[in-house]
Structures are given as C-alpha cells and as structure tokens.
Amino acid sequence: MTSPTATVLGKLAEGFGISISQLVGGEELSGDVVVMPRAEQAVFRVPTTGFERRSLSPLASQNSGVDFVVNVLPPLQSSGTFPPHRAGVEETLTVASGRLGLQLGDEKYDLKAGDAIFYRAHVSHRFDNPSDSEPAVFFIVINNVGGRS
C-alpha cells in the first residue's frame, strides 16, 4: 500500500473542489458545541518525510468554508509542493514552535515561533523545516469562502 504525497493529495482535493481535510475524512460532527478528541481528528501523514497534517475543524464547519489545521514537519524535511488553490482562497499561518520556510510561488519567507503570515493561496506553496534538530509546528486557518463558485 502506498500513501499519496502532499502534492498529489492537494491536487485531488482541488480537483474535487474540497479541502484536504474533507478528502482524508474524519467524522461528520455538528452542533452548537463539538468536542473533537484527538483520536477522531482527520490526519494525513507522509511516511517518507514524516510530515503530518491534522484537521482541527469538524467536517460540518468546513462546509461553511473554514478549515483549521495543525501541521508538524520534522527537522530538515519539506511538505512537498501544494498546488495553487482556487482564486479567493486565503490562508493565515502561525508558527507555534520551531522555524519554517514558506515558499509562495517564487517568494520565500523565513518564519520563527510566534510569527504569523496571511496570504492568498492561488499560487503553489511549500513548507520547509530548515532546523536540523527541532520539528516545525504550525497552524493554518484556510478560508475557502472566496474560492467557492
């Protein structure tokens, strides 16, 4: 059994017009308050790099256009390149711990713990951990509302 790369998963999700979190599953939870135990959060892992993407939003909330995820990238690893999202999709990223290299199209940004960045995600993007000793942990809020047709 093989696992898709982040690039392939991103292309599939964009092709279907859904989020990666919706593509990898998770439980359809709804209500005024939703507790999501860690064991019930949708997780995508790339075995070759150790990159992990965990969805912190219930699938029902993603139908409203917002997806909240936490990513863990081991030392000296890359997420692989995510394809451009539809026009109008926006992402806000904050680094919780470690260091993160973010490539948006041809532009590169070096971020450290506590840094935040907002970007329109209609360009390819990649996450790199330049540290040789510490994982990069970063949160992303993906706003798909503007990218819906």
Q: Where are the domains positioned within the chain?
A: 6-28+39-143
Burial of residue 145 (CB within 10 Å: 0-12, 13-18, 19+) is: exposed
Domain 6-28+39-143, CATH among 2.60.120.10, 2.30.30.760, 3.40.47.10, 2.60.120.260: 2.60.120.10
Contact residues for 48 (Cβ-Cβ < 8 A; gap 6+): 5
Per-residue pLDDT tens, the chain, 149 aa: give them.
Answer: 455 555 554 555 555 565 555 545 555 556 678 888 888 888 888 889 999 999 888 765 555 678 899 999 999 999 988 889 888 999 999 999 999 999 999 999 999 999 999 999 999 999 999 999 999 999 999 998 765 44
| 100 burial type by CB count under 10 A (0-12 exposed, 13-18 middle, 19+ buried) | buried
Q: Is this structure's pTM higher than 0.85?
A: no
Q: What is the pLDDT of residue 18?
A: 54
Distance CA 97, CA 145 (A): 28
What are the beta bridge partners of residue 133? none
Provide the pLDDT for residue 19.
55
CB pairs under 8 A, 24+ apart, for 109-117?
111/138, 116/92, 117/92, 117/93
